[in-house]
Amino acid sequence: MLGLYIGAFLGMLSETSMNIALPDLMDSFGVSAGTVQWMVVGYMLAIGIVLPFVGLMLKWVNTRTLAIFALACFFVGALVSTFAVNFPMLLTGRIIQGVCTGIALPTMYAVIMRVFPMSQIGAANGVAGLVIMFAPVIGPTVAGMLIGAFSWRAIFAMFAIVAAVALVCAAATLTNPIEVTRPKIDLPSVFASVIGFGGLVAGVSMISDMGFSPTVIVLLVVGVVVLAFYVWRQLHMESPILDLRALGIAAFRTPAIMVTLSFTCTLALMYLVPQELQRGLGLSSTVAGLLMLPGGIVNAACSLLAGRLYDRKGASMLVRVGAVVAIIGDALLLAMGVGTSTAFFVLAHVVLMIGIPLMQQPAQSAALKGLPRELATDGSAILNTMQQVVAAIGTAVATCLLGLGESNYTAAGGTNAAQGFVDGSRYGYVFGLVLVVIVLVMSFFLRERKN
């Protein structure tokens, strides 16, 4: 599992490290906030487009070859971004990295379901949760230090180094636990998946820059209609690209939605927080990154603990406790202002980072455990697709809310740019709060499958 664990960590590290570098990228390439967000949303869009095909890929290509290919491409994409001379080149390297992350994440979960007994699924997912959830909070710390010491290019150079380590580990240790059956490939489903997921995420992402322009409306309508066709086709095929029958199993569907909403909350808040620390509280990228380190450490410990507690206690109670704690943490972030002390922020961030893994890890384990073994690979791909696509949309929504809050502050006569950014961030924090409340309500309807 080592190569896959490092690869998944790298993917999530890359997904969230950019947040703290966005102001520097805007200055370096002279692009707007709406354009630079494609470094985050474009990456997640690439992941979302690739994810639905991973189940099919694992049936056509042996696991070891697919993982090594993904890690090698990530290495190349990181180098392209490191030496980028303009924003399109930077974004191209970033999208290559997103494609590779889209392969690594569901592959890791599919292999977990094949190599660990059901009684240890919680512990195995706890380790997976450690590498995945630790990355979003350690990423800004590392990125901030690298920007302070060198420049934003050092972040991508770091990605290349970690990718090389993961590549060596995968080549040395990874086996092929998934049988290669090579089913028939349905081309209409392939095109529908790419157009549907791509159109939906791209349309939502462009709202912050273009509003509900004709282009945005067309993208949204096309995305929704084509996705509806894609779903209908998968449900009526003998050998679907993605077996959506898994969503008909309540023991999988309910926790899968809970995981998706908690993950979306995490990425939306981790998009806002580093920028608020810099543009709202006036801190440097290095200091902002260091302030997020205590929460990262707490998150790592709670991810491991949540995985082991799930094997003993199940998911329902853990998710409820986690949701309540996350609500408190989000409420504390809402109370932040331009003059807020750094100690208050650290407290709010640590509380949030206790609640998130207590929600996410047990729900993820319950979702995977709720599937019959023959649907494990497709279920993993469905779960990761839901997370990445909805999180991409959630990040775009947070961007729109941030802009709306700033506009309302200016319209009310406000002239302090820092206060305007803080006001805008609060709109995003309310969005995160709503997502967590939904998870809390759903936890009372969770029905878990026994071993």
Q: Where are the domains of the chain?
A: 2-185+241-445, 186-240
The pLDDT of residue 181 is 75
**If pLDDT is split at 50, 70 and 90, which confidence band does 188 have?**
confident
Handedness of CA 81, 84, 88, 92 (dihedral sign): negative
Task: Determine the length of the chain.
Answer: 451
228, two tokens: 């509806």
The CATH number corresponding to 2-185+241-445 among 3.20.20.70, 1.10.150.120, 3.40.228.10, 1.20.1250.20 equals: 1.20.1250.20
Distance CA 439, CA 329 (A): 15
The pLDDT of residue 449 is 60
Mind listing the pLDDT tens digit for each residue in 337-363?
A: 888 888 999 999 999 989 998 888 888
For helices 87-115 and 121-149, give the axis angle rounded to 10 degrees.
Answer: 160
Largest Cα–Cα separation, the chain: 64
Q: Of 314, 319, 313, 353, give the one whose Cα is nearest residue 333.
A: 353
Residue 242: CA count within 13 A, CB half-sphere: 26
Distance CA 307, CA 128 (A): 9
Above 90 in pLDDT, residue 118? no
- Which residue type is seen at 437? V
Residues contacting 63, CB < 8 A, separation 6+: 107, 110, 111, 174, 175, 176, 177, 178
C-alpha distances in Å from residue 230, one per residue of 13, 52, 194, 226, 235: 31, 11, 10, 6, 9
The pLDDT of residue 73 is 87
Segment 87-104 shows an average pLDDT of 89
What's this model's pTM, rounded to 2 decimal places?
0.77
**If pLDDT is split at 50, 70 and 90, which confidence band does 208 have?**
low
In 176-319, beta strands by DSSP E? none
The pLDDT of residue 386 is 83
For residues 333-370, b (16+ Cβ closer than 10 Å) or e, as one string? bbebeeebeeeebbebbbbbbbbbbbbbbbbbbbbbbb
Q: Of 322, 303, 296, give the one whose Cα is nearest residue 365.
A: 303
Above 60 in pLDDT, residue 77? yes
The pLDDT of residue 209 is 67
Above 70 in pLDDT, residue 47? yes
